[in-house]
Amino acid sequence: MTTIDEVSRPSRVAGPDEAISAEELQLAARNHGIPLEALRYDVTPAGLHYLLIHYDIPDLDAVTHTLTVDGAVRQPLRLGLTELRERPRVTRRVTLECAGNGRALLHPRPVSQPWLVEAVGNAEWTGTPLAPLLREAGIAPDAVDVVFTGADHGVERGVEQDYQRALPVADALRDEVLLAYEMNGAPLLPQHGAPLRLIVPGWYGMAHVKWLRSINVLTGEFDGYQNAVAYRLRRDADDPGVPVTRIEPRALVRPPGFPDFMSRSRVLRPGTCTVDGRAWSGHGPVVGVEVTTDGGVTWTPAVLDPPGGGEWSWRRWRYEWTPQPGRYALAARATDGSGRTQPVEQPWNRGGFANNLVQRVDVLVVEK
């Protein structure tokens, strides 16, 4: 007798010195991070925005696609994309980051999509606010969770499933949560959730359900795989853990100079150089960024540009540097309005989630 377990194995942690596997490389080829030089853009072009696809990109027709709202509601709803477009239209600039960003830098390494630090992007999402739709449907007074189901279907750790994530009712009713049908002023691309996706500003990417087809209101806590098993911060397989939710503060350096093809190590000429990058957090506005050029021995405040993209968009920072020939280790760390600061030593967790350890950029300054 054959079973689905033959193709879907339990999660695991890599052994000491275990190399990246062919399966992980296959994931890395399907998914991609932002090229760090693209941090120059206030709004990330759609083709450079990070991408994670859990299963297959579903084959959906925008003309016939419908969204249902049901469960613990007074009046179930069924709407096509045309009807959603007729509702109030809002555009928000939102930074999205994968919850597994930085996973491949952990020791030991959780075996999954091997992100370094590039799983991020900052786009303009256009759609209609979710809250009025839920209020129109009439959420039951004892409702607890709102479940969002995408059209992508697969198997994960032995569990066959549609991709589903839930938000507590209070979070689903936040004014900034969107049902988005456009990205950067154009219809969503297939890989970014066309024709409809959820946007939950401030939360890691797993909450922004793509290819959205249904919304179901529950009077109990959702116990689906992506909430109850995946995307939890746990020390070991038996630890129930706590859910991954809001984005931890992070700053990224836009690497200066030019790269070596294989190592991506940076080469720079002596003289004045503006080191810059982006910083963001889901817990509060970024209020400070510090920069080091000596691997963390000393830190100096950077200059923050005015917040021009709204409260859910990343913020540019810059630092004037005049290096002499030699080797340098650059890094930046962000602090947000809640008092959270990026760590220089990252606590480990089994899933490799919310790893906001400071990025290191090695630079060789040479005369010629």
What pLDDT does residue 218 have?
98
What tens digit of pLDDT does each residue of 229-238 get?
Answer: 999 999 998 9
**Separation of alpha carbons 314 and 55, rounded Å:** 28
User: Which pTM does this prediction carry?
Assistant: 0.96
Chain-centre distance of CA 61, in angstroms? 26
Task: Count the helices and strands in the chain (H runs, E runs).
Answer: 5, 22
Mean pLDDT of 99-110: 95
Q: What is the pLDDT at residue 181?
A: 98
302: nearest Cα among 288, 287, 313 = 288
Q: Per-residue pLDDT averaged across 160-164, rounded?
A: 96
Q: What is the pLDDT of residue 361?
A: 97
Instruction: Supply the pLDDT for residue 237.
Output: 87
pLDDT over 90 at 282, yes or no? yes
Which among 186, 340, 364, 177 is positioned nearest to 268, based on CA atoms? 364
Q: What percent of the chain has pLDDT over 70?
A: 100
pLDDT tier for residue 368 given thresholds of 50, 70 and 90: confident
Residue 9 has pLDDT above 90, yes or no: no
For residues 261 and 312, the answer to whether their CB atoms sit within 8 Å is no
* Model pLDDT for residues 210-251, shown as the tens digit of each residue: 999 999 999 999 999 999 999 999 999 899 999 999 999 999
Contacts 24+ apart (CB under 8 A), 269-272: 269/365, 269/366, 269/367, 269/368, 270/322, 270/323, 270/324, 270/325, 270/365, 270/367, 271/322, 272/320, 272/321, 272/322
Mean pLDDT computed over 143-166:
96
Average confidence (pLDDT) over 45-65: 97
